[in-house]
Chains A and B, each alone.
Chain A
Amino acid sequence: ETGVTQTPRHLVMGMTNKKSLKCEQHLGHNAMYWYKQSAKKPLELMFVYNFKEQTENNSVPSRFSPECPNSSHLFLHLHTLQPEDSALYLCASSPPGLLSLSSYNEQFFGPGTRLTVL
């Protein structure tokens, strides 16, 4: 238990569906992240939010839309996904300072949402 929760844990959706993934942390962290984890590939950083502001978007297709209403909650809205988007989607948070040059703060990961796109 890292203090980061994700819902749902499993999601199966068709290509025309709209769904949302939710991430929540009450660790007092100000940075939150979405990652995609596919088999035999490195973790792919998708989005970074720092103090509710999006600071990084790693060329993620527009069918993935993040939302960060406050420092404790992060959403990933999904729309018209493709089968190749099937993966484990991990949310993480970290204390302030990760984005500075000399910091190496720990990231606290949630358990992930296993997404299957049919």
Chain B
Amino acid sequence: TQLLEQSPQFLSIQEGENLTVYCNSSSVFSSLQWYRQEPGEGPVLLVTVVTGGEVKKLKRLTFQFGDARKDSSLHITAAQPGDTGLYLCVAQETSGSRLTFGEGTQLTVNP
């Protein structure tokens, strides 16, 4: 299984701040998904990106897939306490159907 590195692993910020989470690999992926997992719950899909250079926006969240489809970023503008959770990137390898999971970024937004 190819390693999918997420950074930072932990992030604690104040409400209203902006932040960016990164997901990087040396492998090329056919698609990449971002999930958010809140305490006591399972991960929930936020977005899927499939085209190199693709940018998707979901309210205050902006997702980007790298041109080479090896990396992705998630930017949150004016973070709110409700954004608190574990953000996971999950990528599908181009060579098959296997999914690769990042370790996750634990985000805490303090009021």
Contacts and interface: CB of A to CB of B under 8 A. Distances in A.
Range of interface residues on B (Cβ < 8 Å): 20 to 34
Contact of A42 (B30, B42, B104): B104
B56 to A, nearest CB: 13
Interface in B82-108: 88, 90, 92, 96-97, 99-104
6 contacts: A40-B9, A45-B101, A101-B30, A103-B97, A109-B37, A110-B42
Interface residues of A, number: 23
Given A98-B97, A99-B97, A109-B44, A104 B31 contact: yes
Nearest to B86: A37
B43 to A, nearest CB: 5
Contacts of B101: 42-45
A40 B96 CA distance: 26
B40 interface: yes
A102 B45 CA distance: 18
B48 interface: yes
Given A41-B103, A42-B4, A42-B102, A104 B33 contact: yes
B97 A100 contact: yes
A106 interface: yes
A104 B30 contact: yes
